[in-house]
Amino acid sequence: MKKVEVTNINMNYHSLKCETPALKNISFSVEEGEFITIVGPSGCGKSTLLNIIVGLIKPSSGEVYIDGEKTISSLTIGYMFQRDHLFEWLTVWENVTLGLKIQHKLNKENIHKITSLLTNYNLIDFKNHYPRELSGGMRQRVALIRTLALGPKVLLLDEPFSALDYQTRLNVSDEISEIIKKENKTVIMVTHDISEAISMSNRVLVLSKRPANIIKDVQISFPSEYDSPLKRREASEFRGYFDIIWKELNIND
């Protein structure tokens, strides 16, 4: 079942002097429960595309559908940015329940749901801690649980691990991937890191330089024993996928 459909998206930026095309005829679909990643040269418009999907930017032309619906509410999509944007003066519990409080939906059912999420992902003992007392990986898990608490149909991840050091980044990608699998979420991620894209995704879409269009759609598949991002990096197939994507990006340069 198609969860997301992006159809003929074009985006042009206008100034007094000229019109600059940023995205050109972008079309793809994402199946329910699928994890796709978008890679491409710096400045090609990857984050712009995410902002169009979530409805923060209106494209020059084209449409985005979620479950076949063109009208996308703010509750349909969860968006994780490069930084966790946790409120430092609020506890973990206050951070993850804030969205529900604003929507007047902090009921018994949702309190139980959040408690279960914090318990399942080893954060319940830290619910009264403040973000400054957490590691970088724990902060990212809190940010994801805050997003999941609102029950989004689709998750958009914009360079979600870029603020972390390399070792933490590897561990957190494993943790976040596990949470997403268990919660059966449909995900579109943007990253500059080819290895990260391959290790976490079912598919990788490669964008050209501006005006960006999709130049390669790479299906990613590993034997069942390689069931986490860290394990995938050890698989013999990993290097082949890396070379395919690297070649496309180098030709594009």
Residue 152 has φ and ψ, to the nearest 5°, of -70, 150
Both tokens of 138, joined, read: 């724990």
* SS3 (DSSP) at 182: helix
> Tens of pLDDT along 99-117?
899 888 899 999 999 999 9
Cα–Cα distance for residue pair 146/236, rounded to 1 Å? 36
Question: What is the pLDDT averaged over residues 211-235?
Answer: 95
* C-beta atoms surrounding 192 within 10 Å: 13
pLDDT reported for residue 82: 74
Question: What is the pLDDT averaged over residues 218-228?
Answer: 95
Residue 134 has pLDDT above 90, yes or no: yes
Separation of CA 92 from chain center:
21
> What order do you get walking across the sheet with 35-39 strand by strand?
77-80, 154-158, 186-190, 35-39, 203-207, 214-219
User: Of how many residues is the chain composed?
Assistant: 253
Within the chain, strands assigned E span 2-14, 19-31, 35-39, 61-66, 77-80, 154-158, 186-190, 203-207, 214-219
pLDDT > 90 fraction of the chain, expressed in percent and rounded: 63
Question: Predicted confidence band at 251 (pLDDT cuts at 50, 70, 90)?
Answer: low
Both tokens of 25, joined, read: 């005829």
**Residue with token string 């340069």:** 253
Between the CA atoms of 166, 204, 68 and 113, what dihedral angle is there, to the nearest 10 degrees?
Answer: -30
Alpha helices in 22-135 (DSSP H): 46-54, 92-102, 108-120
Domains and CATH numbers, the chain: 2-252 (3.40.50.300)
Question: What is the pLDDT averaged over residues 228-240?
Answer: 96
Both tokens of 249, joined, read: 């990006």
Both tokens of 186, joined, read: 């449909």
Cα–Cα distance for residue pair 233/251, rounded to 1 Å? 24
Residue 73 has φ and ψ, to the nearest 5°, of -85, 165
> Tens of pLDDT along 147-179?
888 888 899 999 888 878 888 888 889 988 988
Both tokens of 99, joined, read: 């969205």
> Tens of pLDDT along 2-39?
899 999 999 998 777 777 889 999 999 999 999 999 99
> Tens of pLDDT along 180-199?
998 899 999 999 999 999 99
Residue 253 has pLDDT above 70, yes or no: no
Cα→Cα distances 120→88, 115, 138, 182, Å: 23, 9, 13, 10
- The predicted model scores a pTM of 0.91
